[in-house]
């Protein structure tokens, strides 16, 4: 059942459209990430859900109740900010219990809930500390506990890990996900970090210039990008223009080299120009394994990336990346050598223009 619905949501600032016709249904307990570059409208959309921005048009519905015109403090929506936003004059326990005190819950109930939240974020000993006595990671965990203490219908997280260093970020995102699952809270998470979005989300909404480019599971977004933007923004992808040779046979041509795709070309005609994409890890050397498409190439560069070795090959006038897992016995080709790479039909994705 749909829990949170955003219908035709748009937002303009001084005639400049920052969010356009945004539609999304979120299920109870789902973790949805808004992913996109700076200025794509993801934070504005989140702020419209929180009530900090009033939509120019469209509707926000929570459990079938239209909350579009409700004040932020009337929405029962929790929010975690990038800058933590803990109240400096209050202890950790007072911060966590703030929302409960606003709701005039009894002292005993507040104490119990605060203890429960402290236990969930593993900061039982820090209840009497002030925010400035905590590390950044600890402060953000307190901010999360504070937002969840009120049992919000939706938890909104606005780039909550951006201010933290890489190691803590990875650790904390796993904690956020575990806590969200444990409490079965619906969560909307804003990030520009694709790895973060892919690792934490049930579904990802990829946004660009105020519009939704694609909505899908991390698996779908990564493996089946539908637009050139999603393809370029999420992961590394080889994209190039191609010409339809035979729609029935799903046959394409790049620089005179023929390729087969598994995608439906029924609506296309011979000679149509399209954009195709192939993930680097979908290529292999043809000497190891032969697949549907075999391309002659020249090895141009080899980059060692730790667990992966990235090989740049020239196929005609196109430059493609090929990723292969590192192992100590890997035999790498010589730079400048002629070789052949291969990929399956399914690896050749046709992008929407």
Partner 1 sequence: MKRSGVIWSWFWMILGILYFFLPLVATFLFSLRAKLGVLSFLAYTQLFHDSNFIKDFSFSVLWGLLTIIVGIVIFVPTAFWVRLKVPQVRTAVEFVTLLPFVIPAIVFVFGLVRTFSHPPFLIVNSPALLIAGYIVLSMPYMYRSIDTGLRSIDVRTLTEAGQSLGAGWGTILFRIILPNIRVAILSGAFLSFAIVMGEYILAQYLAKPAFAPFLAYLIQEKAYEPAAATIISFALTWACMGIIQLVGRGGPQAQLAGGH
What is the contact surface with partner 1 in residues (CB under 8 A)? Answer: 50-52, 71-79, 81, 83-91, 98-99, 102-103, 130-136, 139, 143, 146-147, 150, 156, 163-164
Nearer to partner 1, 125 or 338 (CB): 125
Sign of CA dihedral 39, 52, 30, 6: negative
Closer by beta carbon to partner 1, 79 or else 313: 79
70: burial class by Cβ within 10 Å (0-12, 13-18, 19+)?
A: middle
**Which residue number, 82 or 318, has a Cβ lying nearer to partner 1?**
82
Specify whether the CB–CB gap between 117 and 96 falls below 8 A. yes
- Residue 166 CA to residue 183 CA, distance in Å, equals 26
CA distance 274 to 240: 9
For 319, the token pair is: 């430059």
- Based on CB atoms, which residue is closest to partner 1, 88 or 336? 88
For the chain, give percent helix, strand, coil, nearest 5: 25, 35, 35
CB 191, min distance to partner 1, A? 18
177, 225, 287 from 312: Cα distances, Å: 36, 22, 17
Closer to partner 1 by Cβ: residue 47 or 279: 47
The bridge status of strand 57-62 relative to strand 2-13 is: antiparallel
Q: Which is nearer to partner 1, 150 or 194 (CB)?
A: 150
The span from the CA of 90 to the CA of 96, in Å, is 9
Q: Which of 174, 175, 169 is nearest to 192 (CA)?
A: 169
Q: Is the Cβ of residue 141 or residue 279 nearer to partner 1 in the bound state?
A: 141
Tokens standing for residue 333: 């080709």
Q: Which residues pair with 204 in a beta bridge?
A: 33, 216
Shortest reach from residue 46's CB to partner 1, in Å:
11
- Measured from the CB of residue 32, what is the shortest distance to partner 1 in angstroms? 18
């Amino acid at each position: 059942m749909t829990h949170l619905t955003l219908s035709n949501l748009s937002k303009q600032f001084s005639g400049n459209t920052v969010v356009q016709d945004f539609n999304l249904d979120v299920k109870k307990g789902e973790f949805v990430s808004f992913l996109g570059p700076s200025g794509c409208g993801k934070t504005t959309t989140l702020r419209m859900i929180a009530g900090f921005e009033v939509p120019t048009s469209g509707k926000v519905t929570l459990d079938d109740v239209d909350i579009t015109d409700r004040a932020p403090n009337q929405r029962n929506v929790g929010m975690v900010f990038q800058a933590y936003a803990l109240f400096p004059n209050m202890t950790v326990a007072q911060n966590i219990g703030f929302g409960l005190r606003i709701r005039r819950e009894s002292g005993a109930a507040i104490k119990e809930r605060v203890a429960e939240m402290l236990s969930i974020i593993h900061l039982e000993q820090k209840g009497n500390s002030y925010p400035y006595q905590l590390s950044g990671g600890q402060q953000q965990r307190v901010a999360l506990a504070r937002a969840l203490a009120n049992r919000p219908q939706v938890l909104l997280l606005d780039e909550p890990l951006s201010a933290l260093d890489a190691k803590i970020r990875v650790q904390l995102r796993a904690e956020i996900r575990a806590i969200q699952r444990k409490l079965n809270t619906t969560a909307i998470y804003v990030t520009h970090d694709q790895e973060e979005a892919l690792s934490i989300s049930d579904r990802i909404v990829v946004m660009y210039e105020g519009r939704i480019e694609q909505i899908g599971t991390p698996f779908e977004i990564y493996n089946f990008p539908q637009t050139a933007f999603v393809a370029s923004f999420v992961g590394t992808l080889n994209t190039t223009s191609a010409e339809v040779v035979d729609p029935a046979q799903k046959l394409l041509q790049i620089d005179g080299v023929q390729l087969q795709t598994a995608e439906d070309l029924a609506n296309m005609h011979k000679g149509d120009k399209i954009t195709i994409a192939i993930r680097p890890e979908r290529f292999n050397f043809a000497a190891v394994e032969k697949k549907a498409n075999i391309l002659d190439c020249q090895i141009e560069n080899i980059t060692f990336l730790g667990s992966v070795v990235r090989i740049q090959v020239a196929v005609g006038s196109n430059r493609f990346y090929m990723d292969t897992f590192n192992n100590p016995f890997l035999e790498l080709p010589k730079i400048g050598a002629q070789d052949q790479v291969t990929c399956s039909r399914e690896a050749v994705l046709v992008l929407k223009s």
